[in-house]
């Protein structure tokens, strides 16, 4: 927001130097300036629209209406009023079509509402106005990747990487677009109400089992909705690989059996031979998809704790795995556990996460877990860990440190240091 604020200050100076031909218009503009200083964007927009009616030729007023629409739209996004925010950004582009920030914001809102064509148009318009923005190119490339337009995504992400060669996110997305494009050549797809399953079209033996797999996925969807009282807005993509194809992705260590990164990725050589294991794995990975849809900023221990609980992992085994050992502090590991090379260390993180989640579940059940997720979503300011701590205190009366001490005392574990 700082570059935009600086740009806004320049416009204020420009507005101040405009010839004051209409005292009433000048009074309205002055009132709008004061409203901007007090961050009352709605009042500023009202004053400026009145000024525009009185003097439609004042270009500085039109630009300021656009900026007020942008600020109002951002405020509405923070309040989860996405439809209204989208309308506000759209209005802003009509007043100030040369502002790339407005088009970027419109693209983000439209993408959230699953208006893919509108989002793509807005992102491309923003790039045209500001060709140096690697951030906007990254957002467009991500959207194209999610639409499985891998060649186009790679081209956009390559241009973003040239602008920001040290950006690890862009580098990772580019690698995924290239690899997915290569591996998924010849993939067939089947759909159901909530899922899109993709697999190699020549695997006819698997193809005949896909309807059964889709039925299992839909049953899992219903079960997750019952437990979380929430659901993703978009259809979930499930990719079924051979073990060779899965390893060609090259994004995980050998101990990883599946993962979710916006798509559920599962190796499956034989449904009939691996059915029970794969069904359990799909329940685990769909849990991640649901939690990510509820809040993309949840911490890994909460993700993995719930996912293991939902798939049916036995907590007594998890307690045995950590009993008598020093607990890890979850804040030591803020990234996904699948990034850990050491399988034994990863197994302890998974076990501890299940023990922690089960402790919460035993206190207040799923209603408490749902309330925790809601509180994390409502919490503003600070890091993800700070928002989680505030929500834990609100719902369970203890932050994560306190929770760790409770569990350590209950199961004879060593309390970790930060």
Q: Where are the domains of the chain?
A: 2-130, 187-293, 300-411
Taking CA atoms, 336 is separated from 180, 225, 288, 297, 304, in Å, by: 20, 24, 11, 12, 9
Res. 64 pLDDT band, cuts 50 70 90: very high
Which residues are registered as beta bridge partners of 240? 266
Report strand pairing: 264-267 vs 259-260: antiparallel
Pick the CATH number of 187-293 from 3.40.1710, 2.60.40, 3.30.2010, 3.30.1490: 3.30.2010
Using the predicted structure, report yes or no on whether residue 19 has a pLDDT greater than 50: no
| The residue to which tokens 């260590």 are assigned | 253
Q: What is the number of other CB atoms lying within 10 angstroms of the CB of residue 124?
A: 16
Using the predicted structure, report yes or no on whether residue 336 has a pLDDT greater than 70: yes
pLDDT tens figures, 288-304 = 999 999 888 899 999 99
DSSP element (H, E) containing 188: strand 187-191
Q: What strands lie across the sheet with 195-200, from one edge to the other?
A: 187-191, 195-200, 236-241, 264-267, 259-260
Q: Where are the beta strands (DSSP E) in 245-297?
A: 259-260, 264-267
Using the predicted structure, report yes or no on whether residue 234 has a pLDDT greater than 80: yes
**Mutual angle of helices 150-163 and 134-146, in 10-degree steps:** 160
Per-residue pLDDT at 333: 65
Sign of CA dihedral 362, 364, 367, 373: negative
Res. 201 pLDDT band, cuts 50 70 90: confident
Give how far the C-alpha of residue 389 lies from the chain's centroid of Cα atoms, to the nearest Å. 20
| The residue to which tokens 């004053």 are assigned | 47
pLDDT tens figures, 85-119 = 999 999 999 999 999 999 999 999 999 898 999 99
Buried b (16+ CB within 10 A) or exposed e, 315-329: beebbebbeeeebbb
**Radius of gyration (C-alpha) of the chain in whole angstroms:** 25
Residue 200 main-chain phi, psi, to 5 deg = -65, 130
pLDDT tens figures, 339-367 = 888 888 889 899 999 999 999 999 999 99
Q: What length does the chain have?
A: 418
Query: Which class in CATH covers the domain with range 2-130?
Result: mainly alpha
DSSP string, 301-334: HHHHHHHHHHHT--HHHHHHHHTTSBPPPGGG--
Using the predicted structure, report yes or no on whether residue 9 has a pLDDT greater than 70: no
98: helix, strand or coil:
coil
Residue 33, token pair as written in the block: 């300036």
Taking CA atoms, 397 is separated from 26, 39, 144, 384, in Å, by: 54, 35, 43, 18
Task: For the chain, give the mean pLDDT.
Answer: 88
Q: What percent of the chain has pLDDT over 90?
A: 61
Per-residue pLDDT at 161: 96
User: Between 313 and 251, whose confidence is greater?
Assistant: 313
Half-sphere exposure of 3 (CA within 13 A, CB side): 4
Residues 188 and 201 sit within 8 Å (Cβ to Cβ): yes
Residue 43, token pair as written in the block: 């009042």
Give this prediction's pTM: 0.78
């Amino acid at each position: 927001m700082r570059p935009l604020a600086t740009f806004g200050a320049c416009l204020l100076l420009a507005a101040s130097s405009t010839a004051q031909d209409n005292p009433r218009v000048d009074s309205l503009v002055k009132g709008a300036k004061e409203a901007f200083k007090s961050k009352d964007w709605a009042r500023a927009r009202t004053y400026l629209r009145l000024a525009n009616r009185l003097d439609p030729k004042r270009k500085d007023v039109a630009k300021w209406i656009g900026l007020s629409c942008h600020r109002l739209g951002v405020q509405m996004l923070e309040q989860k009023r996405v439809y209204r925010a989208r309308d506000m950004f759209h209005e802003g582009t009509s007043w100030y079509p040369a502002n790339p920030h407005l088009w970027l914001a419109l693209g983000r809102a439209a993408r959230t509402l699953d208006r893919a064509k509108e989002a793509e148009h807005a992102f491309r318009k923003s790039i045209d106005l500001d060709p140096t923005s690697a951030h906007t190119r990254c957002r467009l490339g991500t959207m194209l990747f999610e639409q499985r337009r891998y060649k186009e995504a790679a081209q956009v992400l390559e241009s973003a990487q040239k602008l920001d060669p040290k950006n690890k996110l862009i580098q990772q997305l580019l690698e995924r677009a290239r690899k997915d494009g290569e591996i998924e050549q010849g993939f067939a797809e089947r759909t159901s109400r909530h899922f899109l399953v993709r697999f190699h079209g020549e695997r006819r033996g698997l193809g005949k089992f896909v309807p059964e797999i889709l039925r299992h996925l839909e049953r899992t969807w219903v079960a997750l909705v019952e437990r979380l009282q929430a659901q993703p807005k978009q259809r979930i993509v499930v990719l079924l690989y051979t073990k060779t194809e899965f390893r060609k992705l090259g994004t995980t260590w050998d101990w990883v059996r599946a993962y979710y990164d916006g798509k559920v990725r599962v190796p499956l050589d034989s449904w009939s031979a691996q059915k029970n294991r794969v069904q359990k794995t799909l329940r685990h990975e769909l849990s991640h998809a649901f939690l990510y849809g509820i809040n993309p900023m949840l911490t890994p221990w909460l993700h993995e704790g719930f996912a293991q609980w939902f798939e049916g992992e036995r907590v007594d085994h998890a307690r045995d795995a950590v009993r008598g050992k020093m607990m890890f502090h979850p804040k030591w590991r803020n990234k996904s556990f699948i990034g850990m090379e050491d399988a034994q260390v990863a197994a302890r993180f998974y076990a501890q996460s299940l023990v922690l989640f089960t402790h919460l579940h035993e206190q207040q059940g799923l209603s408490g877990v749902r309330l925790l997720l809601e509180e994390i979503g409502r919490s503003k300011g600070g890091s993800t860990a700070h928002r989680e701590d505030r929500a834990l205190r609100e719902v369970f009366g203890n932050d994560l440190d306190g929770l760790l001490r409770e569990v350590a005392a209950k199961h004879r574990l060593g309390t970790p240091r930060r």
